[in-house]
Structure 1
């Protein structure tokens, strides 16, 4: 979620299209919050109530995913007010809100990645998984905090702007931050997932890999949905980098591209919250789907 540094957003006169875009994105984010919060809370309650025995690691990951979704959606009212009006709180509150948002998004991303690693360890190294299970979850939250530090360090409220947004010392520093976000938030996790599943397909047959129809459908849906809805965010990052590179050699092209980037950023931001809203519905659909199948399957 990259806030634009374009000065036109901070001017007294704002075009009607920009106001409409902000209003539409705020409505979508609000709907995601209204639907997603009770949905994810429902997932927590259902899993905890129906799991009379000790939770397996897959269900622990589902609980972790629902918890990170709840944390993300809980910050939505703050960001809606920020989009429609201005940032009226202090700089510390800006950093705290940024920390909570990015922590939940990073935890979400790492949990989805761990789904693939878990399948790999579960099939090929089950004893190792039993030893590393609790440590993996602790390491996940610790790594999420470390990844969040970059976003918190570059977020600030500049006097006269009344916006909680990214501020960097130079264009080179901004490019470095955007590249790191894309590498750590998409390229590396996606590579880990692809590598895990490719190695599994080479080592075992499909019957052993997909022994649980419910969990297979659920995990696959969550992973595909996650990366589909996160791709626009990193496309916007690439557009940002292109704008910075072209602002000296092709200034007119850079300005035009940045204008379209602002619209794309609002859409990408909605996709992030929509992803957090969609997970519990995928879980509910998977549960219904498995109940409708014959008991023998």
Structure 2
């Protein structure tokens, strides 16, 4: 009897215990899609069509936006999955494609934010040199390196797409219920590599943020950045920290424990504990997905032009909606 309870806790009960995830996650991801898609489209249009010269930090922002757009575009598949209470109706390849895009977006964002923080540190510590030089080649090279690295790590997921589909009690699960020992070991190694990537990225962000704040606190005789540069640098430090702490830190803290439990490398007979870990993991997963709408907020901190552009775009949409809703000619003329 105890063995039966233990087996149920390890397999079915572990996933199905977090019942709240189906309703809450479908609503939450729907919100992210409705808000994130137009927001990132507007961001990409501004970055690509902007009259301002292409800079290293702009290259990183464009790459961030593309990664966020890919993530948001495929959100309807995940919304449908949770709406059907964890039943995947699409192909195994689409399941792996979605999972690959999820990891690519997450770790592209982590590494690109680290590069943005480093670039901002250079702008604060060497403002004259940075203003007189163009580091576009470095930006393109590092961006290409990050995309190559994240795609290479996610590629095995796409190649072995059938490993991530499992049929249980008439329900087809996506990225749930791993049974093969060989697959479990590969997944454990993959998640450890991702954890290492987060630690490296977060370490770079912390180091650059500390250096930026130190430079900003120096006297004017040593360093003379403009007040505008100080404000932008401080806001960038704050924005990047918020994204890391809100989106990525909770997920990576709980994800290692969750991975060990779900793959049964950490055998615990306490079903209540396993349920709690799964519950927290589901919440952390939602929090990490918020980065797709927080990244454009970062642009607002770094660019006054984007803030003005988005404000004008919002006002234009509101005016068009007002005109369409108005049925009287007088009302249209007044609007």
TM > 0.5 fold call: yes
Rg: which structure is higher? Answer: 2
Counterpart selection for 1:145 from 148, 151, 170: 151
Partner of 2:293: 277
Query: Structure 1 pair 257/31, CA: closer, same or farther in 2 (3 Å)?
Result: same
Query: Structure 1 pair 150/218, CA: closer, same or farther in 2 (3 Å)?
Result: farther
Per-residue CA deviation, residues 5-47 of structure 1 (Å, 9 max, x unaligned), is 842377xxx67xx444310121011101101111111122233
Query: Structure 1 pair 144/214, CA: closer, same or farther in 2 (3 Å)?
Result: farther
Partner of 2:173: 163
On the 8 A contact 1:157/1:165 being kept in 2, the answer is: yes
Partner of 2:117: 116
Q: Which moved more, 1:133-142 or 1:280-289?
A: 280-289
Query: Structure 1: how far apart are the matches of 2:120 and 2:195?
Result: 25
Query: Structure 1: how far apart are the matches of 2:10 and 2:83?
Result: 16
Shift of 1:181: 2.1
Number of corresponding residues: 277
Residues 1:176 and 2:189 are matched in the alignment:
yes
Q: Which moved more, 1:207-216 or 1:191-200?
A: 207-216
Query: Structure 2: how far apart are the matches of 1:78 and 1:41?
Result: 19
Gaps of 5+ in 2: 1-8, 309-335
Query: Structure 2: how far apart are the matches of 1:242 and 1:101?
Result: 20
RMSD: 3.4
On the 8 A contact 2:92/2:164 being kept in 1, the answer is: yes
Query: Structure 1 pair 232/210, CA: closer, same or farther in 2 (3 Å)?
Result: farther
Three-state SS of the structure 2 residue aligned to 1:162 is strand
Query: Structure 1 pair 40/47, CA: closer, same or farther in 2 (3 Å)?
Result: same
Query: Structure 1 pair 197/220, CA: closer, same or farther in 2 (3 Å)?
Result: closer
Query: Structure 1: how far apart are the matches of 2:47 and 2:134?
Result: 25
On the 8 A contact 1:221/1:282 being kept in 2, the answer is: no
Query: Structure 2: how far apart are the matches of 1:260 and 1:62?
Result: 37
Q: Which moved more, 1:208-217 or 1:69-78?
A: 208-217
Partner of 1:239: 257
Q: Which moved more, 1:18-27 or 1:262-271?
A: 18-27
Query: Structure 1 pair 128/150, CA: closer, same or farther in 2 (3 Å)?
Result: farther
Shift of 1:94: 1.7
Query: Structure 1: how far apart are the matches of 2:167 and 2:297?
Result: 42
